[in-house]
Structure 1
Amino acid sequence: MGRQKAVIKARREARRLLRRDSRSHKQREEESVTSLVQMSGVESIGMARDSRDNSPIEARNAAQERYLKAIERKKLIFATGEAGCGKTFISAAKAAEALIHKDIERIIVTRPVLQADEDLGFLPGDIGEKFAPYFRPVYDILVRRLGASFMQYCLRPEIGKVEIAPFAYMRGRTFENAVVILDEAQNVTASQMKMFLTRLGENVTVIVNGDITQCDLPAGVFSGLEDALRRFSDDEMVSVIRFTKEDCVRSDLCQRALNAYA
């Protein structure tokens, strides 16, 4: 009997140790997941309590009014003009609004990075880290309008509701059920612009923003935005918006600088 009791006691002790090890392992896993979430800045969507800018997107001048109406009604919008006219802000804010209201499934933002060649190889980090500084102007607006946690959720590869990609990655794609924003479009070539505009599928709104006065393409290379502005005009699907320096709303100082360099 003494030996049988010892065996039972040993079994109980073994089960107790297994339960303790299991709880400890589970706790370590949870801590690891928590650490990853904190490091990546991603929050559980159910726990998100971010403030989201829900203020109305209102035009501050006649050109912005035309731009807003074009985004709401047309499929392809070209907007060109001086810095500070609200081209990037309005396009990103309207894209966020469409995503929140589930009018579209995703937002795609692209821009040429290093002139026409987009040579990212020498920059440190993966492609997202290389491209991040160039995407920052649009990113900040989307975070403001979507909320930081929801934005991080949308950026997850398995979710893909917000995609950020260098312009070179647009080849071979088809855009559907999305708002697609091409920013700094003056720095793509005419052939690249043709490639981009032939990617368009169903239920898509494409916004092409740029300033042809700030083209960084090599001498002798014609801007794809300037070429497109000569080829397209307003119709039932397309709208062309031309901002002037008088439409600058960034600040009085920005307006002063534009006038100084006019």
Structure 2
Amino acid sequence: MNGVILANGLGTRMRPLTNDIPKSLVPVAGKPLIERIIDHMRDNQVRQIVVTCGVKGQQIQDYLGDGERLGVWLHYAASPDDPLQLPNTAGEIAKAAPYLTPDEPFLVVYGDTLSGTNYLQMREFHERRKATITMAGLWGIPVGTSHLSTDDLGKIVSWEEKPTLPLLANIPEFICEPRLLEDELVGYGRDFSSEVIPKYVALGQAYCHVQPGNYHCDIGTLERLEQTEALLAAGRIPPGTVLK
């Protein structure tokens, strides 16, 4: 199975770490984020990978090279080194299309995501369901603020510090059928999550694979980077962890 890593993010919420390097090269416990993603893909037999990159993207290419030292084969779908010309997420997938194997499902992973998803199991699920899009999911959404309830007089009757809601959260990892690339929504300036996915949900062609014991760390802010590094320093990221 081919893979696509969307590595075009500007990393504005991770400044000053991203003042001079792209978000994908920010070290996470001593290893660049994108290298951790590639290691996980390789361990799940995803070895032909397209990296989409733009602003500061040459640094990504210089660091990763052809992927040989990581045990994979890398291609690059480059956009202009200009924050005003970013293709958006669906546009990045469209740019990766020429490097993908025809007539074969492909994996899309957002470039700020760490997870424990078993992509082999996810593909089996995808093929059994005959889905167009299968996304990874995980139960439990953390709330960044305290939750409380009151009676009619305004007296607080319950309080919970930053609870986890019993809802199914999406991990931004997707297995897609190649026919998806023919959709006009998969093009420059289009957003995969807000435009493409809702269409296939409405068509009944989108599924969610929930893997027991999975975790999801969205390395999109300095706070979540620090939290993830603390977990890795302790030995591993515990099952069920959601940093989002």
TM-score for the superposition, normalised by structure 1: 0.28
TM-score (norm 2): 0.29
- From the two aligned structures, give the one with the greater helix fraction: 1
Report which structure shows greater RCO (CA 8 Å, sep ≥6).
1
More strand by share: 2
